[in-house]
Amino acid sequence: MKLIENWFSERYSDNLQLSFRVKDQLLSVKTDFQRIDIFDTYDFGKLLTIDGTVQMAENDEYIYHEMITMVPYYMAEKVPESALVIGGGDGGAALRLLELGLKRIVNVEIDNHVVELSKRFFPEVSKSFSNSKVELIIGDGIKYVSETKEKFDMIIIDSTDPVGPAEGLFSPAFYKNASRALNKGGVLVTQSGSPFYQPFALKKAKKGMESAFSGFKTYVAFIPTYPSGFWSFTMNPTGSRKLDTVKTGKYFNKEILEGSFKLPTFVNDILRS
Ligand code: AG3
């Protein structure tokens, strides 16, 4: 008989948290940047958390990773061939970009431990790093975009929440530098948090985007392991290209490409304020 039940909880507010029942805690490490934990959960498979916040679960990572890559891929004015991923140390965004046929991907992750642990515990996701089309740079994405001479068709900011190490990735200065590294007609997209629990994240992303481009576009997805289960992404506005067919993912499809830009009133209100 099992007498002890173990749970990992992410706290959303003082009065609410989401708890995952865990079989085991596989690892806990404090790096120079953050604390990383890996759990083996009953319902979502292996779970990666950073500073107590869920980053990736085996059983629903496809939603986040499809939505942060496939939507912008089809919103670009030309078929994208190159991409810069900032963050994304698990390799999940790079993996989906490879599946879309991109020829060159530069992935700048600040914390080597995220990459190493993902290789160890999430080999199916992080296998992208062994593809020769992917160049992995361990370094500061903020510094990288301010120095690089290279230009990309897509820039994907796959960051943690805008508190702590990722805060600078939501600043107007960062968006300005990043926009300089974007080819004409290209797409820059960032994860912009839970509109319900983190309206400040969405507002910051919107402001940053507006400071560097002529406006912004926000789209949403259902992600069960993230706060409120309802997540937002924000990108620069683009012209459209003619799309003959659109790949169908496990979450993404042709209807989602259009429908995910239709926002509830409370989200429009955040974006207007
Ligand atoms: N990066 C964004 C996760 C943000 C989740 N926030 C939270 N749980 N409070 C995900 C990394 C996947 N490549």
Q: Whose CA is nearest to atom 5 of ligand 1?
A: 55
The answer to whether position 2 is within a domain reads no
Report pLDDT digits (tens) over 176-231: 999 999 999 999 999 999 999 999 999 999 999 999 999 999 999 999 999 999 99
Report pLDDT digits (tens) over 3-21: 789 999 999 999 999 999 9
The reply to whether 139 and 236 lie within a common domain is yes
**CATH at 18:** 2.30.140.10
The reply to whether 141 and 214 lie within a common domain is yes
Beta bridge partners, 152, equal 182
> Can you give the length of the chain in residues?
273
The mean pLDDT of the chain is: 97
**Residue 56 CB less than 6 A away from ligand 1:** yes
**Residue 55 CB less than 6 A away from ligand 1:** yes
Ligand 1: centre distance to CA 105 (Å): 20
Report pLDDT digits (tens) over 31-61: 999 999 999 999 999 999 999 999 999 999 9
**Residue 166 CB less than 6 A away from ligand 1:** no
The pLDDT score that the predictor gives to residue 3 is: 76
User: 135: which 2 tokens?
Assistant: 């160049």
Q: Is residue 158 among the annotated active site residues?
A: yes
**Residue 60 CB less than 6 A away from ligand 1:** no
Which residue shows structure tokens 């173990």?
Answer: 6
CB atoms within 10 A of CB 112: 15
User: HSE on the CB side for 102, CA within 13 Å?
Assistant: 32
Q: For the whole prediction, is pTM greater than 0.85?
A: yes
The answer to whether position 27 is within a domain reads yes
Phi, then psi, of 113 in degrees rounded to 5: -65, -35
Report pLDDT digits (tens) over 111-128: 999 999 999 999 999 999
The answer to whether position 7 is within a domain reads no
CB 190 within 8 A of CB 166: no
For residue 72, give the 3-state DSSP assignment.
helix
Domain count, the chain: 2
Domain range holding 25?
Answer: 12-57
The answer to whether position 74 is within a domain reads yes
The reply to whether 175 and 65 lie within a common domain is yes
**CATH at 99:** 3.40.50.150
